[in-house]
């Protein structure tokens, strides 16, 4: 006889919750490093920006990359 399916589900859920808590710390640090790196790139470069920078700006401004203007970029940088 094996372990009941409900017990396996319970164990998986608790493992997933623990993993999520552990990963949150690492991901927060990675996000802060990425933000600092992209901001340095924005301050140093001029348009056209790389796809990585445009993707980051798109997420920050909640706009499509093709709709981002220089005024939008200057609001983020300042």
Name the pTM for this structure. Answer: 0.70
Q: Where are the domains of the chain?
A: 5-77
Whether 42 contacts 77, CB under 8 Å = yes
Each residue's pLDDT tens digit, 34-75:
999 999 999 998 889 999 999 999 999 999 999 999 999 999
Q: Round to whole Å and give the CA distance between 48 and 44.
A: 12
Whether 56 contacts 37, CB under 8 Å = no
What b-and-e string marks burial along 29-43, b requiring 16 or more CB atoms within 10 Å of the CB?
eeeeeeeeebeeebe
């Amino acid at each position: 006889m094996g372990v009941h399916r409900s017990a396996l589900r319970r164990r998986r859920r608790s493992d997933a919750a623990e993993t999520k808590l552990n990963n949150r710390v690492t991901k927060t640090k990675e996000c802060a490093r990425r933000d600092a790196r992209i901001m340095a790139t924005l301050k140093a470069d001029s348009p056209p920006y790389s796809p990585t920078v445009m993707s980051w700006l798109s997420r920050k401004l909640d706009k499509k990359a093709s709709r981002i203007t220089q005024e939008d970029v200057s609001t983020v940088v300042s």
